[in-house]
Each structure stands twice: as structure tokens, then as C-alpha cells.
Amino acid sequence: MGAEGRVVSLNVSPGGVPKLPVAAARVTVLGMEGDRQAHPGVHGGPERALCLFSAEVIAALAGEGHPVGPGTTGENVTVAGLDWGQMAPGTRWRLGGEVEIEVTRPTTPCKTIRGSFRDGDFNRIHHALHPGESRVYARVLREGVVRVGDPVVPLGVD
């Protein structure tokens, strides 16, 4: 895995999971157009505008027998080809040619995603229990359109 990755899935939902795939989406400071959260006080907002996850972590979880896939745990952007540990709070990334983001923090999983885990064990991706295997939230620094297949390029640390 190198320093540059690729967007392999973009997912939106009118609220709840799974989020369903789209080929492209406009991203604003409040998130991905067409995406809503069932509990906006807990999810979404400028500091949690996007939720990202690793295709490699998803594949490893599926290999453990979890019925997980892109969008099933509520992420908007699934990325492949990165060392997921690089996607740390404070790091900045460009998605495609326009969108720039800054990772704000790992997410804390909740029971709404239990269907993606064997025996409902949604804490399988809790950052405190399984470092480097959680989703991350990001704020949007520069709005634009992102497409499946776009590069994910590191811009540095804030």
C-alpha cells in the first residue's frame, strides 16, 4: 500500500444504514449531497461532515465472517490502497481533483450498525478496542465533486 489511495465506493442514505452506492457526489462543508443522518445531533455537522472507511479493513472483517460491505457501517467514502493508519486526526487529504478534507477523529460505533457484524458485535471496529480498524470522521476544507475511482492524495498535517 502506498501514499496514494483510490475512492472505491461513495454511499448516501436518506437516514440510517446501509448507505447505498452512487457513482459521484457533490461534497459541501455539511457533507455529501443526498446523505442525511437519522440522528443529526450525534452524526453529521461540520466536524463530522464525512465518514470514511478502509476497503482493506472491510475485506478483513468480511474474512472474519462479518456481513459487512461498503456503506453498511454508515461511511460515505470507502478508500482502497492506503495504509489506514495514515488516515489519522489532523491529516489532510484531497479526494479527486477538488475536495479537500481534514480527518477530525475516529468514529465511535453504535448499535445501528450491528447488522454488519457477526453476533451484532459492532464494537469490533471501536477505535479503543481495535486501533487502526475504525472509521474516521472528517471536516470538508474545500467543496467539490468526488467520483468513484478518484485518487486520494495526502496533503500533510494541520
- Residues with pLDDT less than 70, the chain: 1-2, 37-43, 158
Question: What's the chain's Rg over C-alpha atoms?
Answer: 14
Options 3.30.70.260, 2.40.33.20, 2.30.110.10, 3.50.50.60; CATH for 5-152 is 2.40.33.20
Tens digits of residue pLDDT in 85-101: 999 999 999 999 999 99
Report yes or no on whether pTM surpasses 0.75: yes
Return the domain boundaries, the chain: 5-152
